[in-house]
Amino acid sequence: MRKVLSIGWVNIVRFMRERANLFFVFVFPLLLIMLLGAMYGSGFDTRVGVLVGGDGGELADRLVVAIEDLDETTVVEFDSEAGLIDAVQRARVDGGVIVPPDYDTAITGGGVTRVTFIGSPTDQTSQLLQVAVGEVLATEMAPIRAARFAEVETNGSFDELLMQARTVVPLSERVAVTYREAGEPLFAGIDELGAFDLGASQQLVLFMFLTSLAGSAALIETRRLGVARRMLSTPTSTLVVVGGEATGRFAVALIQGVYIMVGTLLIFGVNWGDPLGAVAVLVVFAMVGAGAAMLMGAIFHNDQQAGGLGVLISLGLGALGGSMVPIEIFPESIQTVAKFTPHSWAIDAFAELVRRDGSLIDILPQLGVLAGFAAALLLLATWRLQRVLTS
């Protein structure tokens, strides 16, 4: 056992001595999680920019509040038309609404005013937002028109008639629309997630596997330089050498996983759910990464070839398994194919822990599948590496 741990420790030291490895293991994952959280941490809300001209007024403020009350809509206030247009063009907001300075004066005085919507003609979200803003404006104008008509007919006070109209008009609606949800929501529990929670687990899985496969180059170099054969010339069995190499790969993946998990918890306040369940997923997935790295290191003979293919395979499996975008948006056929990747099961386990408040018991099926992946990869890698070292 001491020899296995010694070989594993040497592999850890070799990996950590490379400064490029330190960046991609410790810095880049947290940086990417921070960027994703900053860009998409507000969730999937529609962002609408609003510019109220002049000093505004009661009616203008009511219109802004009504827009803000739209479902899953966030209002961003601007102080210049140029800034609002620039934000729409750069997709910082999905659309913009300009309320003119004379909005209150024109309405109370019986004049004409124009509310302007700014959006992209090629953006579907912008087009839907324009329809929603139009409906809000029509709803706001209905009691105003009623009060204006009553003022002409009765010579009453417009302000008093407007207050009455706001009470009467909603009661006069003869058609009511209700809706209910059928089946399970597509993103169940996502509303309770923090700004960095969704991307953290995805990037954790992606980088643990990526780092593991990148480490396969060290195993190839060990074979190429004859280090493995020299170890076998000592009283050391093939299984001990293979076990030591696997321990090193496992330790590197586990160290990175623990670092990302603890770092995001302390810096960004990421919720990882049940600690015991999260650690279990971390350990089993590190075993999967170690097995995959060992298999690649045993199959390929060129470390550059293995490094390039390792990155390609890692990113491909990560994309298919839901490490780059939520797997729920994939068609059912793609989701079925994704089940053949360990990433999908690991991310599903974290989703159970974080989004559905699951425990270790709830993720036992996912852990079982991941353990199967790890066992299969490690057995194949052991068989292949034994043949390579003894041939």
Q: What are the structural domains, with CATH classification, of the chain?
A: 2-40+195-390 (no CATH), 46-171 (3.40.1710.10)
DSSP code for 333: H
Query: What pLDDT sits at residue 95?
Result: 93
What is the Cα–Cα distance from 333 to 346, expressed in whole angstroms? 19
Burial readout 36-61 (b: 16 or more C-beta within 10 A, e: otherwise): bbeeebeeeebbbbbbbeeeebebbe
Contact 248, 9 (CB under 8 A): yes
Distance of CA 322 to the CA centre of its chain: 9
Beta-bridge partner residues of 233:
none
Give me the helices (H) in 215-237, please.
216-224, 227-232
Contact 281, 350 (CB under 8 A): yes
Q: Beta strand pairing status for 116-118 and 95-99?
A: antiparallel
Query: What pLDDT sits at residue 192?
Result: 59
Beta-bridge partner residues of 77:
50
Distance of CA 67 to the CA centre of its chain: 27
Query: What pLDDT sits at residue 375?
Result: 93
Cβ neighbourhood burial of 277 (10 Å; 0-12, 13-18, 19+): buried
Tens of pLDDT, residue by residue, the chain (391 residues): 787 888 788 878 877 787 777 888 888 888 888 887 766 655 556 889 999 988 778 888 989 999 988 887 889 999 999 999 999 988 888 899 999 998 888 887 778 889 999 998 888 888 889 999 999 888 888 888 888 788 778 878 877 777 877 777 666 665 666 767 665 655 555 555 666 777 788 999 999 999 888 878 777 877 777 776 777 677 777 777 777 888 888 998 999 999 999 999 998 888 899 999 999 999 999 999 999 988 888 888 777 777 778 888 889 999 999 888 888 888 889 989 999 999 999 999 999 998 888 899 999 999 999 999 999 998 998 888 878 777 6
| All residues at 6 or more sequence positions from 361 whose CB lies less than 8 Å from its CB, including other chains | none
Q: How many residues does the chain have?
A: 391
User: How far, CA to CA in Å, does 169 sit from each of 62, 97, 103, 142, 351?
Assistant: 16, 25, 21, 7, 46
Query: What pLDDT sits at residue 256?
Result: 92
What is the Cα–Cα distance from 141 to 63, expressed in whole angstroms? 10
3-state class (DSSP) for residue 132: helix
Least Cα distance to 291 among 365, 385, 368 occurs for 385
Query: What pLDDT sits at residue 177?
Result: 65
Query: What pLDDT sits at residue 126?
Result: 87
State which amino acid sits at residue 237. S
| 226 torsion bin: left (phi>0), alpha (psi -120 to 50), beta (else) | left
Query: What pLDDT sits at residue 109?
Result: 78
State which amino acid sits at residue 357. D
Going through the chain in order, the beta strands assigned E by DSSP cover 46-52, 73-77, 95-99, 116-118
Q: What are phi and psi of 118, to 5 degrees?
A: -115, 125
Q: Beta strand pairing status for 116-118 and 73-77?
A: unpaired
